[in-house]
Structure 1
Amino acid sequence: MADKQDDIILSIQGMSKSFGRNRVLNHINLNVRRGTVMGLMGENGAGKSTMMNCLFGTYQKDEGTILLNGKEVAFSGPKDALENGIAMVHQELNQCLDRNVKDNLFLGRYPTNALGVIDEGRMRKEAADLFRKLGLTVNLNTPMRNMSVSQRQMCEIAKAISYNAQVIVLDEPTSSLMTQEVEKLFAMMRMLKEQGISLIYISHKMDEIFEICDDVSVLRDGELVMTKRIEDTNMNELIAAMVGRSLDNRFPPVDNTPGEPILSIQHLSTKYAPNLSDITFDVRKGEIFGLYGLVGAGRTELLETIFGIRTRASGRVYFRDKLMNFSNAQEAMDYGFALITEERKANGLFLKGDLTFNTTIANLNHYKSGVALSKPKMVNATNDEIKTMHTKCMGPDDLISSLSGGNQQKVIFGKWLERAPQVFLMDEPTRGIDVGAKYEIYELIIKMAKEGKTIIVVSSEMPEILGITNRIGVMSNGRLSGIVNTKETNQEELLRLSAKYL
């Protein structure tokens, strides 16, 4: 794809990077045009994160040059890149949760008055102007901890824009956003394009790539295998480029046969916002029961209340006709319940541990020889889960932090599978996972259902919730607004139910 040099704002030429004998990037050549959105796709482990880390100076590249506006640059780190016009909004947010929105926006660059004192008034005015310009309504004094993942993500995007960046890299920015919020983000991106700002949009969501991107590039196994204008390609070509093979269907056949009702949620309510109000439904043995709703509807809170890590105000949970009102997670685990959380790095992984530690931590009693833990048993169990989940890694002693996001999620699945759970609660289980790995997760979920496990899965992706479930419960403002059979419903009905109590 030939471009006039004047049109190129960022040019990566011949970039290579190896870790030991493992070559992660192999002579990458990538041009980003001024005032466009470049989609960047590839399976987890393809090299996307490594390429961005080399661009931002977090890693030092082995070969190659980076040109910004035709001039060679080499950043010493993300702060250096940010101050020179390249910003990145990470999928896993790294914010000071106990500080408010305003403080996070100006972190590391507080404006001061003539006396050298932090100028709160200027901070307030500049922050308010920024959010107004972006069409966002935010309480500047709210601690980040009290905001939803989607709100925190929008604040991070606003922060990147506030640096007057010429190039903004967005890493899976819509992974926690609902339809309306995605539309807001895309409107913001189009506005930035009109101002001549370029965006690199890393995503696994095909429909979004075709909606917002001008160009798309695909990485596979450390090599750039395709760059095309978006109008010159299609979904099948992109998938084939990413995985090296064609995926005829995005979802495997949902061929499980649910049995009798086995899990009963009766009149469940909570005290703390968002309040759950009088939620009642049954889930059958071997059923995949989806939970859909807008962000803030209470889907995550419902899973956490069932699992015993959120306080009930009233209501009961029965499993096999036995009362299961858990008061903590350990009780839930002892009765065969498992929970995959939405934010894996915050509360699903021990980032300083290796794969063996993270795979076996939830089931340590299982690996004892006498009174002591058996390292060989733990390593064998980890190797089994690596094979089952097709986890891309060097081996069980790899640090979990060295894995891509999708492979980290596979380790979390493996951890819970080691406990052989009977009820599996999943909150956005494929968030940030590439199309090939998603398919494997879907196959695993359906296989578990066919083995008689009961699954409740929360997803913000409409195609996913319609693609892998038997029935769908729709949440609206803390209430259950309806339950539909997946084969008999459509996107319009789900959206209508999700707005029922707003």
Structure 2
Amino acid sequence: MTGSGQAQPATSVTESKPLVVSMAGINKAFNNVSVLNDVSLDLYGGEVHALMGGNGAGKSTLMKILQGVYTPDSGTLTIDGQLLTLGTPEQAEAAGVAMIFQEFSLIPTLTVAQNIFLNREPRGRFGAIDDAEMVKRARTLFADMGVQIDPTVQVRNLSTGEWQLTEIAKALSKAARVFIMDEPTAALSSTEVQTLFRLTAQLKARGLAIVYITHRMDEVFTVGDKVTVMRDGRDVLTRETKGLHLDDLIEQIVGRRLEGAMQWEYREVNRTGAPLLEVENLHSEGVNGATFSMYPGEIVGLVGLMGSGRTEIAETLFGVRRKTGGGMKLQGKPVTFDSPEQAIAGGLALVPEDRRVQGLVLDASVGTNLLMPQLARFVHGGVVQDRAARGYADTLVSQLRIKTDNIDKKTRLLSGGNQQKIVVAKWLGNEPRLLILDEPTAGVDIGSKSEIIALIRELASQGKAVLVISSELPELLALSDRLLLVEDGCIKQDLGRSGQETEEDLHRALQRGQMGGKGHAATA
């Protein structure tokens, strides 16, 4: 396989499976800017077809054409052999296309059954909605899916995974033949992910054609039968996942070879002196006696399942959660942070799990977001020194290679990777001693991910301690000088680094943790 960017044919023809969707020679431009260039995609019944590419590669635009949100400027779309022009989402739905939204489309105050059959409610003799029949049909759908969800419960009382399953039930109730899943595991726990994978296999066995959009490499090889890679508005690779090497897939996504992007690089950490951070028997809501330490220049990864207390530990350190017991020292001095403002003043910085809600003002400009923690530096006599402030923001954009037309551009319009760089960059002017990064590369493409990983390593090399929380085990393995196992809000074990070389090693550690006893101190 080469990195030439030329489209590659699939390694084999799926002759025994029906061709459900064929998109051929699709072109689309907005304001004379080409977004899709001669893109083709075939979807077969009984296959999971992964769709990958960097932010802005054209994946969303292509799928919106299949959903009827956009019409192509040229090219053809056939579903079940019928040439169609889908001008509205309703027309796409009628043709059997369903979208399982990343940001859910359900109404929280309605019941599960009401959401599934919204605007399609079964009616009784006199035209009244037949609630009992609606609940009955919903129960049948969930039974066929092999999951247990009460159709009479309001959606706001469901877990994230149950929301996702309700979305799938809603699509099945419309007799959809094509499922588009957009980052379906982004907000799911590991148990919910396994449930989704099982259901995906079940849907495939029923003969449905499934488009699976993801940035997570391991998922492509777990659930995908085929993969199409898009780059710069073109389809540059289509082939079966069987026999495809991860490095080759990454090369096609990025357009160049990323040597060592997701490989651990040994870093010399001096642990002979005093720790930069010492945490002793820390308690708060969700934290139960966490004890650990970190040294200058050290990257420490927290390994744990969702709900294990990883984020709660981070938020307690940063003053988001009120500490109810235990203590913390920074460079040997006892400190207590009752608010994020105090933590920032003390030399801490937090990149939160949900950048769009907690880390950014999306409708503000790039410059405004970058300057928020630093604005006081550029105010003299009550007047903002605009030239100096803009110069500082431009410097950050250059240093972190943030791709934007200018700093006046709305942050909402940037890719996920560039948004995440802004969240990191805005803290650098504070010269933090401890960086806490919660899911630092969630939802970003592999190219941006490699740049963020390189940035984290660079910050650590400057002597900052970095605490990393990630649900992606390859990312933790690539970054961490030391790994701490978290369970029930405490540090169960200091795993060190020796012997933790693969995802399987960390999976085994997690399994041992679930079967083991109480946590204990984890110090170097």
TM-score of the two chains, using structure 1 as the length reference: 0.89
Q: Does the 8 A contact of 2:402 with 2:421 survive in 1?
A: yes
User: Structure 1 residues 397 and 62 mapped into 2: Cα distance closer, same or farther (>3 Å)?
Assistant: farther
Are 2:247 and 1:228 equivalent residues in the alignment?
Answer: no
Higher mean alpha-carbon deviation, 76-85 vs 31-40, is at 76-85
1:392 is displaced (CA, Å) by 3.0
User: Structure 1 residues 91 and 349 mapped into 2: Cα distance closer, same or farther (>3 Å)?
Assistant: farther
CA RMSD of aligned residues (A): 3.0
* Cα distance in 2, alignment partners of residues 255 and 89 from structure 1: 42
Q: What does residue 244 of structure 1 align with?
A: 255
One-letter code of the match for 1:491? L
Q: How does 1:209-228 map to 2 (within 5 A)?
A: 209-228=220-239
Q: 5+ unaligned residues in a row in structure 1: which ranges? A: none
Higher mean alpha-carbon deviation, 164-173 vs 252-261, is at 252-261
Q: What does residue 54 of structure 1 align with?
A: 65
The count of residues paired between Structure 1 and Structure 2 equals 499
One-letter code of the match for 1:394? D
1:368 to 351, 373, 379: 379
Q: Does the 8 A contact of 1:256 with 1:446 survive in 2?
A: no
Are 2:277 and 1:263 equivalent residues in the alignment?
Answer: yes
DSSP 3-state at the match of 1:410: helix
Q: What does residue 367 of structure 2 align with?
A: 356
1:338 to 349, 354, 376: 349
* Cα distance in 2, alignment partners of residues 147 and 125 from structure 1: 19
2:304 to 293, 315, 318: 293
Higher mean alpha-carbon deviation, 119-128 vs 405-414, is at 119-128
Q: How does 1:398-409 map to 2 (within 5 A)?
A: 398-409=409-420
* Cα distance in 2, alignment partners of residues 109 and 63 from structure 1: 34
One-letter code of the match for 1:441? I
One-letter code of the match for 2:55? N
Q: How does 1:132-147 map to 2 (within 5 A)?
A: 132-138=143-149
* Cα distance in 2, alignment partners of residues 25 and 167 from structure 1: 21
One-letter code of the match for 2:341? Q
Q: Does the 8 A contact of 1:355 with 1:399 survive in 2?
A: yes
Per-residue displacement from partner, 1:326-376 (whole Å, max 9, x unpaired)? 232222222222222222222222222222222222332233354223443
* Cα distance in 1, alignment partners of residues 389 and 119 from structure 2: 43
* Cα distance in 1, alignment partners of residues 298 and 56 from structure 2: 32
Q: What does residue 480 of structure 1 align with?
A: 491
1:74 is displaced (CA, Å) by 3.9
TM-score of the two chains, using structure 2 as the length reference: 0.85
Q: What does residue 494 of structure 1 align with?
A: 509
Q: What does residue 26 of structure 1 align with?
A: 37
User: Structure 1 residues 344 and 142 mapped into 2: Cα distance closer, same or farther (>3 Å)?
Assistant: farther
Q: Does the 8 A contact of 1:476 with 1:501 survive in 2?
A: no
DSSP 3-state at the match of 1:253: coil
DSSP 3-state at the match of 1:460: coil
User: Structure 1 residues 137 and 355 mapped into 2: Cα distance closer, same or farther (>3 Å)?
Assistant: farther
Percent of aligned positions with the same letter in both sequences?
34
Q: What does residue 284 of structure 1 align with?
A: 295
Q: What does residue 12 of structure 1 align with?
A: 23
User: Structure 1 residues 215 and 322 mapped into 2: Cα distance closer, same or farther (>3 Å)?
Assistant: same
DSSP 3-state at the match of 1:264: strand
Q: Does the 8 A contact of 1:276 with 1:479 survive in 2?
A: yes
* Cα distance in 2, alignment partners of residues 389 and 348 from structure 1: 17
Q: Does the 8 A contact of 2:17 with 2:46 survive in 1?
A: no
1:418 is displaced (CA, Å) by 3.8
Q: How does 1:80-479 map to 2 (within 5 A)?
A: 81-82=92-93, 84-93=95-104, 96=107, 105=116, 120-138=131-149, 149-150=160-161, 152-231=163-242, 233-249=244-260, 250-251=262-263, 253-259=265-271, 260-271=274-285, 275-479=286-490
Q: What does residue 3 of structure 2 align with?
A: none
1:83 is displaced (CA, Å) by 5.0
User: Structure 1 residues 200 and 115 mapped into 2: Cα distance closer, same or farther (>3 Å)?
Assistant: same
Higher mean alpha-carbon deviation, 489-498 vs 395-404, is at 489-498
Higher mean alpha-carbon deviation, 74-83 vs 481-490, is at 74-83
DSSP 3-state at the match of 1:436: helix
Per-residue displacement from partner, 1:404-425 (whole Å, max 9, x unpaired)? 2222222222223343322111
* Cα distance in 1, alignment partners of residues 210 and 356 from structure 2: 26
1:179 is displaced (CA, Å) by 4.2
Q: 5+ unaligned residues in a row in structure 2: which ranges? A: 1-9, 518-524
Structure with higher Rg: it is 2
DSSP 3-state at the match of 1:483: strand
One-letter code of the match for 1:422? R
Higher mean alpha-carbon deviation, 60-69 vs 347-356, is at 60-69
One-letter code of the match for 1:496? Q
Q: Does the 8 A contact of 2:284 with 2:324 survive in 1?
A: yes
* Cα distance in 1, alignment partners of residues 430 and 156 from structure 2: 31
Higher mean alpha-carbon deviation, 352-361 vs 70-79, is at 70-79
Per-residue displacement from partner, 1:280-322 (whole Å, max 9, x unpaired)? 2112222111111112112122212222222333333332233
One-letter code of the match for 2:432? P
1:71 to 82, 94, 107: 82
Q: Does the 8 A contact of 1:290 with 1:469 survive in 2?
A: yes
